[in-house]
């Protein structure tokens, strides 16, 4: 994996563990030579992960809608910034630029990005893997809910297994690399 899209909040959240994990994710990426692709913001976990990557000498590629640039939330020091018109264009460009996706804690924007990446995968638009980085149990409820979706008959077990759960950045990268290797061999991803 050369580039990893990190979805996360434009807020730091209430638990300092979220920011710590964003920094740890950046460190794990740097140690393995993986570039960051993210939403281009300077605030919250997004800014923390980008700053950590850049401060360690890594590359960070941002994708941000013009309306957010105009609100002065764009990160000023990225390796490359892609300014788009809409959120749909943002997600499409991030998908184009990345090899895999990981979701750290975040709000509805993070969920939107995660579920769109998963939906596009299900529809065959890409075969890139995605994972949740579970910080302080943040994703436990979603994990349980997705089991409910399977039980209710709205999601296959095979599709459910695509949503990888990691408890450390290193585990996330390992799981994503393994899933990408499976996809390269023609398995569903």
- Domain extents in the chain: 3-181
Strand 163-166 and strand 130-133: the pairing is: parallel
Mean pLDDT of 136-151: 98
Using a pLDDT cut of 70, give the percent of the chain over it. 98
> What's the full length of the chain, in residues?
189
- CATH number for region 3-181: 3.40.50.450
- What's the rounded Cα separation, in Å, for the pair 103 and 101? 7
| pLDDT-based confidence at residue 188 (cuts at 50, 70, 90) | low
For position 150, what pLDDT does the model report?
A: 98
Mean pLDDT of 6-27: 98
75-95 pLDDT, tens digit per residue, is 999 999 999 999 999 999 999
For position 9, what pLDDT does the model report?
A: 96
């Amino acid at each position: 994996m050369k580039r990893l899209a990190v979805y996360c909040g434009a807020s730091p959240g209430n638990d300092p563990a979220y920011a710590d994990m964003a920094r740890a994710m950046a460190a794990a990426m740097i140690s393995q030579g993986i570039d960051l692709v993210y939403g281009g913001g300077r605030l919250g976990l997004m800014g923390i992960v980008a700053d950590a990557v850049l401060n360690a000498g890594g590359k960070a590629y941002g994708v941000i809608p013009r309306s957010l640039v105009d609100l002065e939330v764009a990160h000023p020091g990225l390796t490359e910034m892609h300014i788009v018109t809409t959120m749909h264009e943002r997600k499409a460009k991030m998908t184009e630029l990345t090899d895999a996706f990981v979701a750290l804690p975040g709000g509805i924007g993070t969920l939107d990005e995660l579920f769109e990446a998963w939906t596009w995968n299900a529809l065959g638009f890409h075969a890139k893997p995605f994972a949740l980085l579970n910080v302080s149990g943040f994703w436990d409820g979603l994990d349980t809910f997705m089991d409910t979706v399977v039980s209710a008959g709205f999601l296959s077990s095979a599709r459910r297994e695509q949503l990888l759960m990691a408890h450390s950045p290193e585990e996330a990268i390992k799981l994503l690399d393994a899933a990408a290797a499976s996809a390269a061999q023609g398995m569903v991803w």
